[in-house]
Amino acid sequence: MLEVTGLTARYGRAQILNGVSLDLKGHEVVALLGRNGAGKTTTMKCIMGLLETKTGEIRYDGQSLMKLPPHMICRAGLGYVPEERRIFPDLTVEENLEVGQRPAREDAPEWSREHLFELFPNLAERRSNLGKQLSGGEQQMLTIARTLMGNPKAVLLDEPSEGIAPVIVEQMARVIAELKSEGLSVLLSEQNLHFARAVSDRAIIIEKGAVVYEGGFDELDANPEISQQYLAV
């Protein structure tokens, strides 16, 4: 469904990505792991057209995304949940969801507000609250729900467990499992190995802008030196 090949990117003169290649299949959750600054967020921003790439190829659902603006990439069916959340603080929960609403797709799950309120009970209880009145975890839920209102086929989640309470992290894990069961594919950027293992089918580790490991968690567990070298703080 999503295939990235030989991707390079820079911030000014600094080379951030050095030939990143990865793929995401249909109905699959893949964890993109790595320390802060490894290139996870940059990879996602390149996929979404938010950062210019220098070389490489990005294909989604058979279509090249290279040179497409972000809004066209979203219309193609690829959703993005940034780490910064970026909700509309002066709009209510329901109004935030309305902003993200797009027509249903024949080949993707259809999400309504009521369906999302079943998935995120916290948001249902606070549907009339302003975005700025929500906790950090609830804002993260709202960002995911708003993205789902666009009825994507695949979603990029950037650090969904970062800075939120453990009870919300547990809810987030259930949400990702539900997204997969609904037919979505998910590329998940994470530093929390325990969380990533709980929700993902396989892992890709990135270090200094290059992929250094790709495989299952059983193999990763059998080689603890890999985690120690590339994931330990």
Which residue, 166, 216, 229, is CA-closest to 195?
A: 166
Mean pLDDT to the nearest integer, 6-11 = 91
In order of their start, the domains of the chain are 2-230 (3.40.50.300)
Residue 185 is inside which H or E element, if any? strand 185-190
- Would you say 186 and 157 are in contact if contact means Cβ atoms under 8 Å apart? yes
pLDDT of residue 108: 77
Residue 192's pLDDT band (cuts 50, 70, 90)? confident
* Greatest C-alpha distance within the chain: 49
Between 67 and 81, where is the model more confident? 81
Mean pLDDT to the nearest integer, 109-131 = 92
Residue 58's pLDDT band (cuts 50, 70, 90)? very high
- Distance, CA of 18 to chain centre: 21
Examine the pLDDT at 81 and tell me if it is beyond 70: yes
pLDDT of residue 233: 66
Mean pLDDT to the nearest integer, 105-117 = 86
Residue 146's pLDDT band (cuts 50, 70, 90)? very high
Mean pLDDT to the nearest integer, 185-211 = 93
H helix runs in the chain, sequence order: 40-47, 70-75, 93-99, 113-119, 121-125, 136-148, 166-181, 193-199, 217-222, 224-230
Residue 197's pLDDT band (cuts 50, 70, 90)? very high
